[in-house]
Structure 1
Amino acid sequence: MRLLLITGPPAVGKMTVGRAVADRSAFRLFHNHHTIEMLLDVFDYGTPAFTTLNAEFRRRVVEEAALSGTDLVFTYVWGMDAASEADYLERLVAPYDGRIAVVELVADLDTRLARNRTEHRLAEKKSKRDVDWSDANVLELESGHRMTSSPGLDAPAERLLARWPHLVLDNTDLPADEAADRILAWLVTQQ
């Protein structure tokens, strides 16, 4: 069993690439909005109940996937400037006992803003259907958080990434199917 953690900023293509990886392999996709969208029907984003349940549901899915021997893709927007996020991820992926690889997707802001409005994204993530709000959220996160790694930086995110195989993939002009093929070929070299 393996856990493939796909990280990157909003609208970089984590879910789409994760789905393409799952379609070509034994991996199952558990993208971050599987829990977010379900909880938004009951709780407002960021409220204590939302935050508690989102973390708990994700933890339990990852635990059960590891116990059942499931190869899992999990997508996550990682605020790499927050030590608490590195701590959270370390605890979340612990059931995979080191059988973890990280793919960090990167794309320029204009590409991500265009992707933020795609039919596929809006169909899968109803919380993004107010595209003006969603675009503003992408811009706010872009200006207020570091969501990509900085090699050589001595920070919690980079120390955690150093423990696992880590691939940075610029998918600005890379179709999801080709990105998935590259990721799967890279994973073979990491075994």
Structure 2
Amino acid sequence: MKLIIIFGPQAVGKMTVGQSLAEITNLKLFHNHMTIDLVSNFFDYGSSSGKRLVNLFRQEIFEEVAKSDLEGLIFTFVWGLDLEGDWEYVRQISSLFENENGIVYMVELEADLDTRLERNKSENRLLHKPTKRDMVRSEHDLIKTMKNHRLNSQPDEIQSDHYLKINNTNISPSEVATMIRDTFNL
């Protein structure tokens, strides 16, 4: 069992890389908006009810996958590296898989702001993430989150035997997916 956590700031390409990685491996993609957009039909994600439901759905899926005979899961996530709660969340989901003798792989993506702002408008992103279709709100959220939180790691901050950081500003999603597959022998 493998858990690949692809993290980085909004619109860095996590979902698109995850889609490409799922295509070249037997891993299933669980991008963070699969739960956010489901719950957003009922409650704003920022509300206590919205966050609680997103976390419940994710927890149930993680638990079932960790115990299953699937080869593994790709999970995408915006990790506020300045937030202890986000560190705890990563430790918690990682332990679910490690307790079932799984291996957790950390893949961090980074790209410059101009690239991310352009990717924020991409057809694939808008197709799979309905809550991002309000472009004014989405761009505002991207910039605000970047100003308020640290979304990429500092040197040696991520202590994992299975960690890869990629600046994908000028690399296609399929190339990044191939790099991940080959680095971790997926």
TM-score where L is the length of structure 2? 0.94
Q: 1:162 aligns with which of 148, 156, 159?
A: 159
Aligned to 2:31: 31
The amino acid across from 2:47 in the alignment is T
C-alpha displacement of 1:133: 1.0
| Partner AA of 1:66 in structure 2 | A
Describe how 1:146-157 pairs up with structure 2 within 5 A: 146-152=150-156
In the alignment, is the contact (CA less than 8 A) between 1:102 and 1:164 conserved in 2? no
Give 1:86's aligned amino acid. Answer: W
Output the CA distance in 2 between the equivalents of 1:163 and 1:114: 31
Q: What pairs up with 1:9-158 in 2 under 5 angstroms?
A: 9-70=9-70, 71-97=72-98, 99-152=103-156, 158=157
Distance (Å, rounded) in 1 between the aligned partners of 2:132 and 2:44: 14
Q: What is the number of residues matched between the two proteins? A: 182
Instruction: Work out whether residues 80 and 145 of structure 1, in 8 Å CA contact, stay in contact via their aligned partners in 2.
Output: yes
Gaps of 5+ in 2: none
Inter-partner Cα distance in structure 2 for 1:177 and 1:84 = 32
Equivalent residues in 2 for 1:163-182 (5 A)?
Answer: 163-182=160-179
Aligned-partner SS, 1:78: coil
Tell me by how many angstroms 1:47 deviates.
1.0
Q: Is the Cα–Cα contact under 8 Å of residues 62 and 93 in structure 1 kept in the other structure? A: no
Q: Deviations over 1:99-155 (max 9, x none)?
A: 101000000000000000011101111100011111111110111100001124xxx
Preserved CA contact (<8 Å) 1:105 1:168: yes
Amino acid at match of 1:99: I
What is the rounded CA distance, in whole Å, between the counterparts of 1:93 and 1:39 in structure 2?
Answer: 23
TM-score (norm: length of structure 1): 0.92
Aligned-partner SS, 1:3: strand
Match of 1:155 in 2: none
Describe the SS at the equivalent of 2:42: coil
Q: Distance in 2 between matches of 1:56 and 1:92?
A: 12
C-alpha RMSD of matched pairs (Å): 1.2
* Structure 1 contact 39–54 (Cα < 8 Å) conserved: yes
C-alpha contact 2:106 2:160 (8 A) present in aligned 1: no
Query: More displaced, 51-60 or 17-26?
Result: 51-60
- How many Å separate the matches in 2 of 1:151 and 1:59? 30
